[in-house]
Structures are given as structure tokens and as C-alpha cells.
Amino acid sequence: MPKPSIAYAAAHIFALENRLLSRDRVERMVEAPSASEALKVLSETDYAAGVSELAQPHDYEELLSGEIQRIYDFFQTISPDPEITNLFFVKYDFHNLKVLLKAAYQGREEDEFLIDSGGTLSLDHLKEAVKEEDYTQFPHYIREALEEVHEAMSFRVDPQKISVILDRAMYKHIFHVCRKKKNDFLLEYFKLQADLINIRTFLRVKKINQTFEFLKHLLLPGSELGQDFFFDSMEESVEDIVDRLASKKYSRVVEKGVETYLKTGSLSTYERLMDDFLLSYVKAARWNPLGIEPVIGYLLAKENEIRIIRIIMVGKINNIPSQIIRERLRDVYV
């Protein structure tokens, strides 16, 4: 079956964008007096069928899990290049591998944090492979990462090391595909993302007074901010990183995020600003009908939409005031 053309995919996506959650509908969910009432607002949208199947509001993750799988299935049919769009779904594979491997090496049962939808590899396949220690059917980039994990764990079982190895392997794969496809738009997107994640990691390491030797093993590959940048920053105050990054596109994220972090000790504002910045980068290119940008934009818009719904539902179930929920929300795409 031939792949859809970029023009066909873009036209299809433009039509679907009108069905994304609007700012007004998100606000109505935030102002709803309860989780049940928030779901009623959601039932006026494309989520109606999923909402109707929920036994109670606390089961909202079933709705979101189903939507993630639906998005993955949709992009397998509409994407002009699934190898590129799958870069946004491999994180579910790596997340599940982290959970399964940590459980296996620590001799405990898997926990509830497994994600059974949206990955490029089925959860049952992952479970069986980890149980049997047979990774021959996995893509090479996963096999290599698991071999590195096995070697590292042969010296000492360290759950954090498992996460570090898999995170670095995932970004190595992502940048390999971006360069192989010569997709400058995505390459820039993931470089910006890696920069911002590495800055967040730097802030966390500084907070616990660890050394650069500790930090450098946590840094993701592909970041434009090299190890020398962070080595120098470790010798300075946290405030100094704001000035050092003043010329970057994401300077406002760092400035406002660090300012709030120093006042509250929380990185939640930084993470919200990071998500909004990356979404704005994609939104700025969404009208290019000759590139894959509109397709990626819609994919990230759906991810963002699911994140918004989750924040609202968690807030409503825990009786968090509407104003606080609103402060935690990401921007909408449309």
C-alpha cells in the first residue's frame, strides 16, 4: 500500500485541527464544579464515545490511554513517513522498558506505571522479551541499549542507571533518524528539547550539590549546549545561567522558569514554559503544506491536549482550586 503524500496528509490534518479542544472548552472544564462535570464538557467533543464507557471519573486514564492508541493507529495510516512520526511514540517503548527492567533487576513485580498503548512495540512483546531475556526481535537501537543495561547491572543494580542509559539511547536514535532523513525542522525541535531537558537536569543536580562528574552522565546527547557549557555553569550560581543563555530562542523559558524555581524550589513552571515553547516552535511552521510540519504539529497538539485533560482531571479529583489548575495548564494549539 503506497504511503500517503505529504499534501494529502497535510490537508487531512488541517481539517482535523478544527476538532481539537479550544481554549473556551478547556476553560469550561477548569471551571466545572467536579470531575464528573468536567467529563460532561469533554463528552461534547470527539472524546464522547470514550467518556461514555467510563464507569467513574477516576477511570479517566482509560480514556486517555485509548486516545493515545487511537492517535498511534491513525498516524500509521496517515503519515507520509512513519519512521519520522514514530519518533514521538518510541518514548512509550522506552518508558515500559524502564519499568520492566527495574522490576526484573530488583526482583519485584511490575507496577501500575506501565503504558499499554501508543508504543511502537506491544507491551506483551516487551514483557515476554524481558522475562526471557531475549531481545533478538527488537530494533537494533533497543538491543544495543539493553546490552549496555545488562553490562552496567552486572556490576551493581542501579535503577537510575537504567533510566539514564535508556534515555540516552532514545535520543541517540532520534537524532540518527533526523539526520538520516535530513529533516532540519525536526532536528532543530529535538535539539531545543534536549537543551531544555539538560538545563532542567543541571538545575536538579545543582540543588542536591552533586559534581559535574555526576551531571555529565545524565546529559542527553544532541544538545547544542555541550559539556563545557555545563562544566563552567557548575562553578557559577544558578542565576548566572540566565545571562549565559540570553541569546537563545528559549531564553524566556530559562529566565522565568529559573526565577520561579529560586522562589519556590519547584520546576513545574519551568516545565510548563518548556512545553509551551516547544509547541509554539511547531505552531510557527504548521502552515507549510509541502513539509511534514503540519503532521508533526497535529501529533504534538494531541499529546498536549491529553496532557491538559490529565492536569484538569487530577485537579478536579483532588479538589484543587480552579486557579491553581489553570496555572498548571499548557497552552492550546488552536
* CB neighbour burial string for 196-210, b if at least 16 within 10 angstroms, e if fewer: bbbbbbbbebbeeee
- Give the structural domain span for 155: 83-180
Q: Report if pTM > 0.85.
A: yes
171 is a domain residue = yes
288 is a domain residue = no
279 is a domain residue = no
207 is a domain residue = no
306 is a domain residue = no
Digit-by-digit pLDDT tens for the chain (334 residues) are 567 788 888 888 988 998 999 999 999 999 999 999 999 999 999 999 999 999 999 999 999 999 999 999 999 999 999 999 999 999 999 999 999 999 999 988 776 688 888 999 999 999 999 999 999 999 999 999 999 999 999 989 999 999 999 999 999 999 999 999 999 999 999 999 999 999 999 999 999 999 999 999 999 999 999 999 999 999 899 999 999 999 999 999 999 999 999 999 999 999 999 999 999 999 998 888 778 899 999 999 999 999 999 999 999 999 999 999 999 998 887 6
Domain with residue 90: its CATH number is 1.20.1690
3-state secondary structure of 333: coil
Measure the CA–CA gap between 279 and 180, rounded to whole angstroms: 24
If one counts the domains in the chain, the total is 1
103 is a domain residue = yes
Q: What is the CA radius of gyration of the chain?
A: 21
117 is a domain residue = yes
303 is a domain residue = no
